[in-house]
């Protein structure tokens, strides 16, 4: 075969290989920065692209995903002269591949140094206690400062977190003692509140018991008084009914005299030593026997008629 043909075949294969080699496929979430003869030409996004052989080149492959960088601990000094070690975690993503490629020589080193200096400035204005309790405030301040500074580099700082805050050993020991004392104080307060609540409940129970007991006594006395009142009313009503019945029967003088003697008998049951007898019933034939029996049974010393002289009557 003619050598010229071989040369042409070799050249054709070489050209095909070079063309194929210069086809570039940009993956998802990536961007390629293209230079032509050393100058920025364009930025390729996701898809198939062809660059001019020997003239254009891929200057940088840039990932557009959110990235996380954990920086080592940095020594910082608080306002009250306490030296601590604080390490930070920065979350960022690239918004402009061109600025990220040409804006700064080493973007990660630049972010690390900027984070360290910003952290020292913020912590220097805070005391130890505020530093330990103000993480959110510190994170927000660092994030705002970094985001503003990295705009020129095509970087968007999304979030900054303080990962660890490590004070000196003696400070940690003092903090542990303080925390232990605080917990003991809270425990004593809770115990005291529990005792107080228990005593209040016991007192309230005794109070309610006393009130219920007093109400029961009051109710008992009320019912007893009502019973006595009803009994008195019943007796009085019965007495009034008997008087009505007696009046309705039109009793004779002898019946009235007999009732009078029954009344004297009841009176004689007491401690009386003198009985005044009405003259109307002295003439009754049974008076002597009745009086004798009453005197004998009840030790009555005197019976004096109403119209008789006041002299002793001996049995």
98 shares a domain with 52:
no
* pLDDT per residue as tens digits for the range 95-113: 999 999 998 888 899 999 9
149 shares a domain with 79:
yes
Percent pLDDT > 70 in the chain is 78
* pLDDT per residue as tens digits for the range 212-258: 888 889 888 898 888 888 888 888 888 777 767 767 766 666 566 66
Q: In which band, very low, low, confident or very high, does the pLDDT at 34 lie, cut at 50, 70 and 90? A: very high
Average pLDDT over residues 293-301: 46
Q: For position 265, what pLDDT does the model report?
A: 60
pTM above 0.75, yes or no: no
More confident residue, 189 or 129: 189
pLDDT higher than threshold 60 for residue 127? yes
136 shares a domain with 77:
yes
More confident residue, 275 or 314: 275
Q: How far apart are the first and last CA of the chain?
A: 191
Q: For position 69, what pLDDT does the model report?
A: 92
230 within domain boundaries: yes
**Cβ(42)–Cβ(12) below 8 Å:** no
261 within domain boundaries: yes
More confident residue, 3 or 138: 138
Q: In which band, very low, low, confident or very high, does the pLDDT at 291 lie, cut at 50, 70 and 90? A: very low
176 within domain boundaries: no
Listing DSSP states for 139-178 in one string gives HHHHHHHHHHHGGGGTEEEEEEEEEEEE--HHHHHHHHHH
246 shares a domain with 217:
yes
Q: For position 302, what pLDDT does the model report?
A: 44
Please classify residue 271 by burial: count the beta carbons closer than 10 Å to its beta carbon, then call 0-12 exposed, 13-18 middle and 19+ buried: exposed
Q: Which of 225, 250, 275 is the last residue of a domain?
A: 250
177 within domain boundaries: no
Q: For position 165, what pLDDT does the model report?
A: 85
89 shares a domain with 55:
no
173 within domain boundaries: no
72 shares a domain with 46:
no
175 within domain boundaries: no
205 shares a domain with 194:
yes
pLDDT higher than threshold 90 for residue 14? no
* pLDDT per residue as tens digits for the range 35-78: 998 899 999 999 998 888 888 899 999 999 999 999 888 888 88
pLDDT higher than threshold 50 for residue 132? yes
The CATH number of residue 79's host domain is: 3.30.479.30
152 shares a domain with 105:
yes
pLDDT higher than threshold 50 for residue 292? no
**Cβ(68)–Cβ(91) below 8 Å:** yes
Q: How many domains does the chain have?
A: 4
Strand-pair partners of 91: 68, 159
**Cβ(127)–Cβ(190) below 8 Å:** no
Average pLDDT over residues 271-291: 52
Q: What is the rounded distance in angstroms from the CA atom of residue 95 to the CA atom of residue 99?
A: 9
Q: For position 277, what pLDDT does the model report?
A: 56
Average pLDDT over residues 67-90: 89
The secondary element (H helix, E strand) that includes residue 195 is helix 169-249
Mean pLDDT over each residue of the chain, to the nearest integer? 80
Domain that holds residue 259: 253-305
283 within domain boundaries: yes
pLDDT higher than threshold 50 for residue 306? no
297 within domain boundaries: yes
* pLDDT per residue as tens digits for the range 162-211: 988 888 888 778 777 888 888 888 888 988 888 888 889 888 888 888 99
245 shares a domain with 268:
no
Q: What is the rounded distance in angstroms from the CA atom of residue 82 to the CA atom of residue 80?
A: 6
């Amino acid at each position: 075969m003619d050598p010229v043909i071989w040369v042409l075949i070799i050249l054709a294969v070489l050209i095909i290989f070079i063309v194929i080699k210069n086809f570039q496929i940009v993956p998802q979430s990536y961007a390629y920065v293209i230079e032509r003869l050393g100058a920025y030409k364009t930025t390729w996004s996701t898809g198939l692209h062809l660059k001019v052989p020997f003239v254009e080149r891929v200057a940088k492959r840039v990932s557009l995903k959110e990235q996380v960088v954990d920086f080592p601990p940095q020594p910082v000094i608080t306002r009250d002269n306490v030296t601590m070690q604080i390490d930070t975690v920065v979350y960022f993503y690239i918004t402009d591949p061109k600025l990220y490629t040409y804006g700064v020589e080493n973007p990660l080193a630049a972010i690390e140094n900027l984070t360290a200096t910003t952290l020292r400035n913020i912590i220097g204005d805070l005391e130890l206690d505020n530093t330990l309790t103000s993480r959110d405030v510190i994170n927000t301040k660092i994030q705002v400062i970094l985001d503003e500074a990295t705009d020129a580099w095509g970087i968007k700082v999304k979030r900054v977190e303080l990962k660890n805050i490590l004070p000196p050993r003696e400070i940690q020991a003092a903090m542990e003692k303080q925390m232990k004392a605080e917990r003991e104080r809270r425990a004593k307060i809770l115990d005291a509140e529990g005792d107080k609540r228990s005593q209040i409940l016991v007192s309230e129970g005794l109070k309610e018991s006393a009130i219920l007991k007093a109400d029961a006594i009051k109710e008992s006395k009320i019912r007893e008084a009502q019973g006595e009142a009803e009994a008195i009313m019943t007796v009085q009503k019965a007495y009034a009914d008997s008087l009505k019945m007696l009046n309705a029967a039109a009793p004779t003088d002898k019946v009235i005299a007999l009732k009078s003697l029954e009344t004297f008998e009841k009176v004689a049951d007491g401690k009386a030593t003198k009985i005044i007898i009405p003259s109307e019933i002295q003439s009754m034939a049974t008076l002597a026997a009745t009086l004798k029996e009453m005197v004998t049974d009840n030790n009555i010393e005197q019976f004096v008629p109403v119209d008789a002289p006041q002299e002793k009557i001996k049995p």
